[in-house]
Structure formats: C-alpha cells, structure tokens
C-alpha cells in the first residue's frame, strides 16, 4: 500500500471508533443516567433502542439525500455533529434533551459510515480495497468491543461528563485529521437518485442483505449476553471476565485484518468460510471450556470470527452494487442494525426457554439461515 495514502485511513478509523463509542458506550453509564435524570430502566434503555431504530429506519434515506454532496465535507460535518452532540450531552439536565442529542447522531451515523468506506475504497486499486477497509474497520470493532468498558472506566475514574467529553474529543480529532489529510479528489461522483434506487431490483443484492442481516443476528444472539454467559457457564469472576472480553477484542482486531487479506485473495471462499468459523467458536463455547489457556484460545477464535463478520458482510453487500456505493453501504448499516435487534431478541427468547446456553442455539440457527442465503445467491448468479 502507498504509505502516503495510509494516514487518512487511521483518522477515518478513529472517527468510526468515536461513532461506535457514542452508540454503545452509553450502555456502560446507564446506571449513572438513571440516577442523574431520575428515570427507570425502560426509559434509560430508550437511549440505546432509539439510536438503533433511527439508523435502521432513516439510514438509506439520509445517505440518498446527501449522496451527491462532496464526500470529504460530509465526513467532516458528520464528525463535528457527533462531537457537538456529545459535548452538549455532558451538560444537559433534561432527559429528553439527552434523547434528542442521541437521535441527531443516529441520523448521521449511516451517512458517515457509508461515505467513510467509499472514501477508503477510492484511495486504493481494486485488489487492495478489502484490506484497506479491514484497517478502517478496526475503529468499528474497537468501538463495539471497548466502547462500553471504556466509557464506564472514564465515568468511574473521572466523572459522568468526562465520558461524553471523551467522545467529543475523539470525534473532533478525527474531523481535524480528515479535513487536513483526506485528498480533495475524493468527491462523490454524481449519480441520479433513480439510478441508485434501481439497485433494489437486484435479487442477488437482497440475498446478500439477507445473509448480512442473519449473520449479525447470529453474532448478537450470543454476544449480547456474553457477560452473563461467561459468568454463568464458564464461572468467571468479574475481573477475569473483563480480561477475557479484552482478549475477545484482541482476537477481533486480528480476525478483521486477516479477513481483509483473505477477501483480497478469494472473496467467495472467505465469505463462505467465515460463518463456519463462527459456528465452530459457538460449539467450543458450548463444550464448557474452563481451563485458562484453552479458554483464551476460544475467546481469541470467537473474537476473530465475530468481528470478521463486519468486513465480510460489508464486502459481500457492496460487491453487489458498485454503481451506488454510498447507498448500498447505507442499506448495509440499516440491515445489520436490524440484525442486531433481531439477534438480541431471539437470543433472549432462547435463553428464556433453554437457559443461558440457549443463546448459542439461536446463533447456530441464524448461521444456518446465513449460509442458505449465500448458497442461494451463488445459485442465482450461475443461473443468469
């Protein structure tokens, strides 16, 4: 890769880290929010649920509206909105104002995500794009894995306000870096709205959407209850559990980078293998590993299989509609958020019926549905 072009990726990754810390980090300070605003668990939970709902509902439309704007300017604008809303969230004394300050970043979440990966792809030739996207995805995976413990730690060590200000600073730095370093030549080509919407007529696109949605459901049917699973089944105490989640995150970063390289070598094979690796991780978790060294190995494998689902599904979906890259990325982010919601809900149902190990059964069910969509997609393409 061209070293001169590598720097913008890390600022884009930093912006993705800041964005996902905004989305998931609030989970770690929900008790402080409940105490500060005198609200119950259900009300506080709206801060998480409303964010995902807004992304899923409005994401594609927001991206479609802004798709013909200058890519660099849109990226910087989104990051400044994230930073501003985070800073204001630190000091508001009204719960519904805080909720509104969550809705605004949620509207621009899919915009930044979509434009960011198109910007990264524009910097590299075709054969290097998957590997470059994997590097940018480090920010996403770190935000998803470390967002909760990091904001919790900052709130505990400093203050409630500091956790929001941390997000504001991260996004502000990312905005400054992109404004200075990202090449001006990355303006989005103008594509008519009708041409972008025409991709919705593609059957392979919808099969890829189904695969991405089911795979994220498989991932979050288990990951949503990871702390409870590791505590109840593996018998891990709080400190060891935290260490194992960090190990999971290390595996996630390594898995994401490896998947990026493998996708560049053989996209079809990597896409088909990844769900099987995730299934293997679930079967190993179900075996009740308790010894430290095997447990570390299983957590590394689980983290790698889980997080590599990000780059695998994104590559799968965007390859179906290269003529409308921002719009297809918006569809991707909307449907994977739908997958997160479905997976968490179904995982909870399986747990209610079969205990905490039931989440693994829910995960395996969704992996099977993922593979059905992938195989049917291959069959449809070969028939054409």
DSSP sequence for 296-337: HHHHHHHHHHHHHHHHHHHHHHHTT-TTSHHHHHHHHHHHHH
Domain residue ranges of the chain, discontinuous segments joined by +: 3-190, 196-382
Highest mean pLDDT among 38-52, 53-67, 124-138: 53-67
In 3D space, the residue among 220, 229, 230, 228 whose CA is nearest the CA of residue 344 turns out to be 220
Q: What is the structure's pLDDT at 132?
A: 73
Q: How far is CA 240 from the centre of its chain?
A: 25
pLDDT above 60 (res 4)? no
Dihedral sign computed on CA atoms, order 233, 238, 240, 245: positive
Q: How far is CA 6 from the centre of its chain?
A: 22
What's the half-sphere exposure (Cβ side, CA atoms, 13 Å) at 233? 22
- What is the dotted CATH code of the domain comprising 3-190? 1.20.1250.20
Do domains 3-190 and 196-382 share one topology? The answer is: yes
pLDDT in tens, 182-238: 887 544 556 666 767 777 788 888 999 999 999 999 998 888 777 778 777 777 776
pLDDT above 60 (res 257)? yes
Q: What is the structure's pLDDT at 208?
A: 92
In 3D space, the residue among 224, 197, 230, 203 whose CA is nearest the CA of residue 344 turns out to be 224
Q: What is the structure's pLDDT at 229?
A: 80
Highest mean pLDDT among 57-71, 310-324, 356-370: 356-370
Tell me the C-alpha distance between 84 and 147, whole Å: 18
Q: What is the structure's pLDDT at 3?
A: 43
Q: What does the block give as tokens for 157?
A: 């060590």
Among the listed ranges 69-83, 101-115, 149-163, 297-311, which one has the minimum average pLDDT value?
A: 149-163
Q: What does the block give as tokens for 354?
A: 């079969």
With a CB cutoff of 8 Å and minimum separation 6, the contacts of 281 are 298, 301, 302, 305, 306
Decide if 79 contacts 175 (C-beta within 8 A).
Answer: yes
pLDDT in tens, 286-297: 887 778 888 899
Helices (H), the chain: 3-25, 30-37, 41-66, 71-91, 95-122, 129-157, 160-181, 193-197, 203-223, 226-232, 238-265, 267-286, 292-318, 325-354, 358-383
Percentage of the chain modeled with pLDDT above 90: 30
pLDDT: which is higher, 106 or 130: 106
- What is the dotted CATH code of the domain comprising 196-382? 1.20.1250.20
The pTM for the full model equals: 0.77
What's the half-sphere exposure (Cβ side, CA atoms, 13 Å) at 30? 16
Q: What is the structure's pLDDT at 5?
A: 47
pLDDT above 90 (res 328)? no
Among the listed ranges 153-157, 223-227, 364-368, which one has the minimum average pLDDT value?
A: 223-227
Q: Quote the mean pLDDT of the chain.
A: 84
């Amino acid at each position: 890769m061209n070293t001169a072009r590598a720097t913008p990726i890390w600022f884009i990754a930093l912006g993705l880290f800041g964005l996902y810390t905004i989305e998931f980090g609030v989970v770690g300070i929900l008790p402080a929010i409940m105490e500060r605003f005198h609200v119950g668990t259900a009300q506080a939970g709206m801060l998480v649920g409303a964010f995902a709902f807004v992304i899923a509902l409005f994401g594609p439309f927001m991206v479609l509206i802004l798709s013909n704007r200058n890519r660099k300017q849109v990226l910087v604008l989104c990051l400044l909105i994230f930073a501003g809303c985070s800073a204001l969230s630190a000091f508001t004394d009204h719960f519904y104002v805080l909720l509104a300050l969550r809705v605004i970043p949620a509207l621009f979440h899919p915009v930044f995500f979509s434009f960011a990966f198109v910007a990264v792809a524009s910097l590299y030739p075709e054969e290097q794009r998957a590997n470059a996207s994997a590097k940018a995805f480090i920010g996403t995976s770190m935000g998803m894995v470390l967002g909760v413990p990091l904001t919790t730690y900052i709130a505990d060590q400093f203050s409630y306000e500091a956790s929001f200000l941390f997000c504001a600073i991260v996004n502000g730095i990312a905005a400054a870096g992109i404004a200075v370093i990202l090449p001006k030549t990355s303006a989005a080509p103008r594509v008519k709205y009708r041409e972008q919407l025409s991709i919705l007529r593609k059957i392979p696109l919808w099969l890829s959407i189904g695969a991405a949605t089911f795979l994220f459901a498989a991932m979050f049917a288990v990951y949503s209850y990871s702390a409870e699973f590791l505590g109840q089944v593996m018998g891990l105490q709080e400190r060891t559990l935290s260490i194992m989640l960090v190990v999971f995150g290390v595996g996630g970063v390594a898995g994401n980078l490896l998947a990026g390289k493998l996708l560049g070598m053989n996209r079809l094979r990597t896409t088909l293998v990844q769900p099987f690796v995730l299934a293997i991780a679930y079967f190993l978790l179900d075996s009740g590993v308790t010894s430290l060294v095997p447990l570390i190995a299983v957590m590394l494998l689980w983290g790698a299989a889980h997080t590599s689902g990000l780059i695998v599904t994104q590559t799968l979906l965007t390859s179906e509609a290269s003529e409308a890259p921002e719009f297809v990325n918006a569809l991707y982010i909307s449907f994977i958020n739908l997958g997160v919601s479905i997976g968490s809900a179904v995982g909870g149902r399986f747990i209610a019926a079969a205990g905490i190990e039931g989440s693994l059964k829910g995960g395996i069910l969704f992996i099977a549905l993922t593979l059905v969509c992938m195989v049917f997609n291959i069959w449809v393409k070969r028939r054409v």
